Structure 1
Amino acid sequence: MAANLPHDKKAAITAALAGGWVADAASLGLHWLYNSERIAEIGDQTPEFLPPRADYYTKGFGYFAHEGKQVGDVSHYGAATGVLTDSLVANKGNLDIRDYQRRFRSFFGPGGRWQGFIDNPTRITLENFNAIERKAVEEAQSSMPASLTDKQKRVLVQKVMPYTRRLSGDQLAQPVREAISLTYEDAEVQEAGVHLAETIDRHMVRESGADDMQLPAVSKLAPLVASYCGTSNLLGVVDAAVRVTNHNDDAVAWAKCAAVLLDGLFRGEGLSESMDAAMTEAPDPDSLARARRTSKLDGVAAGESFGRTCYLHEAMPVSFHILTHARSYTEAIRANIHCGGDSCGRAWLIGPAMAATHEVGGETGIPLSWLARLTDAASVYQDIESLVYGS
């Protein structure tokens, strides 16, 4: 899908995607600390890239979720964005829901690579994957040949499950048949196993997400919008992707609002114009209008007025306030951290939007030194370039 991107905008889009990662990492040290006075006491005017420490949370309300993380690491939001990015890169910029679901389950589930906090949508999504799979197996077993013994049926389920969890469609038949042949030479049993696998595959539903309207619905959007920038099916793709982790109509509506904002910026439209267009998709445009009407940048006051938690009806107005008034990427990220609460979640809209507007370097863009502080920066930026340039 990289061919859809305006060639003269690819540098700005690359900066925007990097801007999300950097904003998340910059915010991690004080994430979910809700007391603005405590944040100012610890971080003063430069609260970014502080080491995550439990003693920050001994005063004021907060939740320390990032034990073991280091300066430059990203939150679970960044980890989930990385999963979607990997899927998009592997599928040449196209959203493949089943591939995305498999990668998400593999990364965050038992035995996966993620070590860290698991949020409510992710936890419930993982539980839903298991429930969906159990139902699919039951549906598939009900149509298995009566000639099979109970033992054969159990063994076939054990044989096919590793493959249905990482393959689908035409990819299934050959490896499933080969795996079953190690135990059963009978062609009829092998074909029953292939039928079992294909039936399970057909019954795995796309809407696997939690009934949840928190920031994970929005935080992963930047690479998806980059892949479908300017296309007529952008909002349909956003709907499908969001419901993988957040199967909630309000969450989808807020995600469409965020997607329209990013799409406008990625296509080179102004920030104000892009926010105007985005508001037409918002479940509560009045709150966004109030956030934009304030006279000056004040992240703390915005948090007090609209809320600092992970819920989208709080986070989106705060984000729109900061985007309206911040004059640089740095100013926006610092205002977001000073606001408190779910700064990492909001960072995934504020960071890409400000970076798309101001790009990298200079007085208003992403500071070069901030880019260098991201953990595994070279790998992250290579994936971004692969997505945007199709290399």
Structure 2
Amino acid sequence: MSDIVPNDRKPAMIAALAGGWVADAASLGLHWLYDSQRILEVGGQSPEFLPPKAEYFTGGFGYFAHEGKQAGDISHYGAATGVLSDSLLANEGTLNIRDYQRRFRAFFGPGGQWQGYIDNPTRVTLANLHTIEQTAIEQAQASTTAELTDKQKRILVQKVLPYTRCLSGEQLADPVTRAISLTYQEPEIQKAGVHLAEAIDRQLLLESGADDMQLPAVSKLPPLVASYCGSDKLMEVTEAAVRVTNHNDDAVAWAKCAARLLDHLFRGDPLSVAFDGATPEAPDPDNLNKARSGSNLNAVGAGDTFGRTCYLHEAMPVIFHILSHAGSYTEAVRANIQCGGDSCGRAWVIGPAMAAIHGVGGEHGIPLGWLARVTNAPAILTDIESLVGSQ
């Protein structure tokens, strides 16, 4: 918020958010290839921004999920981060869960913009949002006292749903009445339709996520942390946002750990202070402390020790190890890719953290050439500047 974060930290926050997009796109080509030796064979010492190809996954264990994507494209993690960013931008930097849910459903659901892999939390969240809506309709219909035929009830539901999916509260009455009046001029039917819309609206649940403790819980956090940087509401909004897609207590705890880490770094605190502030939020602080030990960067070894999959209890120690030992943004992103597994998911903490520390350009920051390689980079960077500038 503008009264908490000094203006001289805003360039670092802009760099940090850009760092997430760049790290995600850089990792896409070898995402979910678990064989570190195969990664070395394919990518060598510069494995970033490779075009996703199924042939990379032959001869090594992995899952090729990004058919049709090009070098520079983002993963489904980046797409979900973009949805939350759009919601924050539309609400002047404030988290509006209903707006976020609507945008998430519209973007990833049938007829939406996303073309690509759908992960388990997204798939289950979409199903849950549909179920929540159907339950709300049934409860709203049961509360309606007007004498309506079955046909009228069906038509009223069809009339009101486009509005309950994009409006709330007092916003509903006028457009719903106008929509119903195109078919029914009777005031009592119009009134029943407004009641139906408002009753549906009240029944829609805010906690729509899957019982899932994987990386989608934390990958969306950088724009949210930027919007609430330094605020005493950060942990509250972190939990609320996470439960939209990951309704799981461990996922929330790991997300609070990641949010606390990024919040410290966005405000300019040293990495050691950020680690110390974030670690107590974690379900497994011992592994985070273990990951910070030693003097050498060995991301492959960290993957061997803690795991490379999408689960947060594996990913977060690997993230802490890389952040503890990498000396630059480039080194951290390359180490994350070389570790293997869910590199795109981990990128959304590693990239923003390293960019918050090292900025853009120079020996240690985000390479300028990498920024230019991200698909739709101008639009992404414009949105980042708008989001941070509104704080």
Q: Distance in 1 between matches of 2:3 and 2:63?
A: 43
Q: How does 1:95-114 map to 2 (within 5 A)?
A: 95-114=95-114
Residue of structure 2 equivalent to 1:288: 288
State the partner residue of 1:172.
Answer: 172
Tell me the equivalent position of 1:19.
Answer: 19
Tell me what 1:311 maps to: 311
> For 2:177 and 2:263, how far apart are their aligned partners in 1?
45
What is the distance in 1 between the residues matched to 2:5 and 2:384?
A: 13
Corresponding residue number in structure 2 for 1:161: 161
Whichever residue aligns with residue 349 of structure 2, its letter is L
The alignment's TM-score, normalised by the length of structure 1, stands at: 0.99
Aligned length: 391
**Runs (5+) with no aligned partner, structure 2:** none
The CA distance in 1 between the partners of 2:43 and 2:275, in whole Å, is 30
Taking structure 2 as the reference length, the TM-score comes to 0.99
State the alpha-carbon separation in 1 of the partners of residues 4 and 181 from structure 2.
Answer: 45
TM-superposed deviation, 1:3: 5.0
Superposition deviation, residue 272 in structure 1: 1.2
Residue by residue over 1:82-117, the C-alpha shift from the partner in whole angstroms, topping out at 9 and shown as x without a partner, is 000000001000000000000000000000000000
For 2:222, the equivalent position in structure 1 comes to: 222
Contact 2:146 2:188 in 1 (8 A): no
The answer as to whether partners of 1:294 and 1:321 remain within 8 angstroms in 2 is no
Alignment deviations for residues 119-144 of structure 1 (CA, whole Å, 9 cap, x no partner)? 00000000000110010000000011
In structure 2, what is the equivalent of residue 341 of structure 1? 341
Tell me, in whole angstroms, the C-alpha distance in 1 between the residues paired with 2:201 and 2:5.
33
Runs of 4+ displaced beyond 2 Å:
1-5
Counting aligned pairs with the same residue, the percent is 72
Q: CA deviation at 1:2?
A: 4.7
- Matches for 1:119-130 after TM superposition, within 5 Å: 119-130=119-130
Aligned to 1:6: 6
The Cα offsets for residues 331-363 of structure 1, whole Å up to 9 and x where unpaired, read as: 000000000000000000000000000000000
Deviations 1:280-336 (A, max 9, x none): 101000000110013310110000000000000000000000000000000000000
Q: Is the 8 A contact 1:122 1:245 kept in 2?
A: yes
**Cα distance in 2 for residues equivalent to 1:337 and 1:83:** 25
Counterparts of 1:44 and 1:67, CA distance in 2: 22
Q: Match for 1:89: what amino acid?
A: L
Mapped to 2, the partners of 1:11 and 1:382 lie a distance apart of 13
Secondary structure in 1 matching 2:281 = coil
What's the CA shift for 1:145?
2.2
Q: Write out aligned runs for 1:124-143 (5 A).
A: 124-143=124-143
Q: Is the 8 A contact 1:5 1:227 kept in 2?
A: no
- Residue 191 (structure 1) aligns with: 191
Q: Which residue of 2 aligns with 1:44?
A: 44
Structure 1: runs of 5+ lacking an equivalent: none
Local SS of the residue matching 2:245: coil
In 1, are the aligned partners of 2:146 and 2:189 still within 8 Å (CA)? no
* 8 Å contact from structure 2 (residues 146, 192) kept in 1: no
CA contact (8 A) 2:26 2:48 kept: yes
CA RMSD between the two structures? 0.9
Q: Which shows bigger deviation, 13-22 or 3-12?
A: 3-12
